[in-house]
Chains A and B, each alone.
Chain A
Amino acid sequence: MTDFLEVKDLTMRFGGLVAVDSLSFKVAHGSIHGLIGPNGAGKTTTFNMISGFYTPTSGQVLLRGEDISGLQMHEVARRGVVRTFQHSTLFAELTVLENALVGTHMPFRPNIFAAIIGWDKEDRSGAEARAKEALEFFGLDHVMHERAGDLSHGHQRALGMAVAYASHPDVVLLDEPFTGMNPEETRQMMDLMERLKADGITILIVEHDMQAIMGLCDNITCMSFGKFLAEGGPHEIRNHPAVIEAYLGGARHVA
């Protein structure tokens, strides 16, 4: 396994607040990598910088050795890094199938002139086949014609992932994918992620609930207050004193 995605001294400042403070870690190709930490640790901010939603204050994001920090989100996506959002961010007014069709934008780039004349039939049916495949993969084909906004919370989260999956990504960034899912749905979703991994897709998951992803990740990076805290396999992280301290401290803080 080679270093595929690398975050180097990444820093994000919001005014006086340092949300992410020279964070560095590496994600191996074809692995499932977890990024954990208490609420407010800076996980989502890190995601936003990797995916191009924020431009980092300093530091680099390297994809296959290329610096992609500072690119726009669609440019990052076109390099194969596709993200989901923490809250169910969907095209709520469109149908489930149409949501997935937007996900096929990259492999089947629309052409306006071909569309007017009607010379894009192959692309349209290709896009539809891919969208349906993605929906089937996430068990959403039976709700294909429903309005996305009318889906249950668990289905909405799954649809967010289906939209990302439809684009044939190399890396998917999942921001707290299990929130709002019941244990059964969570278990199913974890199986699907194993299957994505078997397909050769690299997965980076953000989660604040440490237990949820222990069984899933090959490697875990833990951060707290924007800083790197520890890294290692699930077993190491579970027993790491600094990680336990951060979570207990966080719990005390909340309570």
Chain B
Amino acid sequence: MPKFLIWIAALAALIALPHGLSFSQQEILVFLTINVLLVASYRLLTLTGEWSLGHVVIMGVGAYSSALLTKKLGVYVPVSMLLGGVFAALIAVLLSFPLFRMKGFYFLIGSFAAGEIIRLLWKRFRDPFGGAKGIKGIDPMPDFSVGFYQFDFFEPTSYYYFAGVVVAVCLWILWRIEKSPVGLTFHAVHWQDKLAQASGVNVRAYRTLAFAIASGFAGISGALLAHYVGTINPNAFDIDLMVFVLTWAIVGGTATFYGPILGCVVLTVINEVVLRELGLEQMRPLIYGAIMILSILFLPNGLESIVQKFTQRRASNGAPERSPAE
């Protein structure tokens, strides 16, 4: 029962949150919401033991697909967002053929190369991708009303509520997958692919499945971004953002579902509140790099290990929690 109350309180806080913020902070809140989905989808991929450097480009695939579907074919925006996710997942399945011939470090490099090729295609083909300038004037989410609330998507608060619901549903699905026998099989593929295979697991199919699901949700996060900012270009999905995703995941820790989300939220707050106040924004990459190194040195299991310390003390008589730290 108290757990239920905690959820209610958290929900109320999330609803009230934008009203205490300035306009620019509200905008940051929208980006944060989108990034939470991005980093949570990234974790699903890491469950099978693969770390990709192409995840942000896949997010871009979702953004470009959704933008083009609305612009060229007049698809209704929420539908195009969903299709953007589907398209990103399909591209991931295609990429899996060359990429899953590689493992570990080679997969990392291969995924980076694949991402750069996609970015080159966006730059090279002005039609339909708009070249280096990208796509401008992307249709916004059409306003609508749900009776007690009028969504006006020029307001960041409205978009925050909308994206919040989409992201919450996506996180719920990711969570259900992780806690299911499919999620256990992902872990099995990660820790001992030989034994998994001897148990009848089609390892290749499961790695592809994780890659496709992670990419699909990254695609949805990209679509959410595209229809909010209204303009996308190849540089919006470059390696800089990928490094941020890696930093969020590593600083937060990847042993639990909430670890990467925690990393994303904490670092964004540090970034926006502290750095902006101090006028150190230009040094963001440097400071992120320093935070990453410090956390690897002093907090190897991520921020989540601090949370676990507190929650485990309370529930120490329950079944022991597994923490498959790398």
Interface residue ranges, A against B (CB under 8 Å) = 51, 53, 72-74, 77-78, 82-85, 89-95, 98, 101-103, 105-106, 108, 110-112, 115-116, 118, 120, 123-124, 127, 145-147, 163-164, 167
Asked if A74 contacts B191 (CB within 8 A), the reply is no
Contact string, B168-212, partner A, CB cutoff 8 A, digits 1/0?
Answer: 000001001100111011011001101111111111000001000
Which residue from A98, A105, A110 sits with its C-beta under 8 Å from B199?
A105
With contact pairs A89-B192, A116-B176 given, residues A102 and B184 touching in the complex (Cβ less than 8 Å): yes
Asked if A120 contacts B192 (CB within 8 A), the reply is no
B residues near A98, Cβ cutoff 8 Å: 184, 187, 322
Closest beta carbon of chain B to A147's beta carbon, Å? 7
Asked if B177 contacts A74 (CB within 8 A), the reply is no
Q: Does B20 belong to the interface (CB within 8 Å)?
A: no
A108 to B185, CA, bound (A): 12
With contact pairs A110-B181, A115-B181, A120-B180 given, residues A102 and B194 touching in the complex (Cβ less than 8 Å): no
A residues near B184, Cβ cutoff 8 Å: 94, 98, 101-102, 110
Asked if B192 contacts A91 (CB within 8 A), the reply is yes
Q: Does B319 belong to the interface (CB within 8 Å)?
A: yes
Interface Cβ pair total, 8 Å cutoff: 109
Which residue from B180, B191, B322 sits with its C-beta under 8 Å from A110?
B180
A234 to B123, CA, bound (A): 73
Closest beta carbon of chain A to B226's beta carbon, Å? 26
A74 to B199, CA, bound (A): 7
A88 to B319, CA, bound (A): 25
A82 to B201, CA, bound (A): 12
Asked if A106 contacts B199 (CB within 8 A), the reply is yes
A98 to B179, CA, bound (A): 12
Q: Does B2 belong to the interface (CB within 8 Å)?
A: no
Q: Which of B280-326 contact A (CB under 8 A)?
A: 319-320, 322, 324
Which residue from B176, B194, B319, B322 sits with its C-beta under 8 Å from A115?
B176
Asked if B322 contacts A103 (CB within 8 A), the reply is no
Selected A-B contacts with CB under 8 Å, 13 pairs: A73-B198, A74-B197, A77-B197, A77-B198, A82-B200, A85-B195, A94-B187, A102-B201, A110-B184, A116-B173, A127-B181, A164-B198, A167-B200
Which residue from A105, A112, A118 sits with its C-beta under 8 Å from B177?
A112
Asked if B181 contacts A116 (CB within 8 A), the reply is no
Q: Which residue of A lies closest to B194 (CB)?
A: A89
Asked if B182 contacts A73 (CB within 8 A), the reply is no
B residues near A101, Cβ cutoff 8 Å: 181, 184
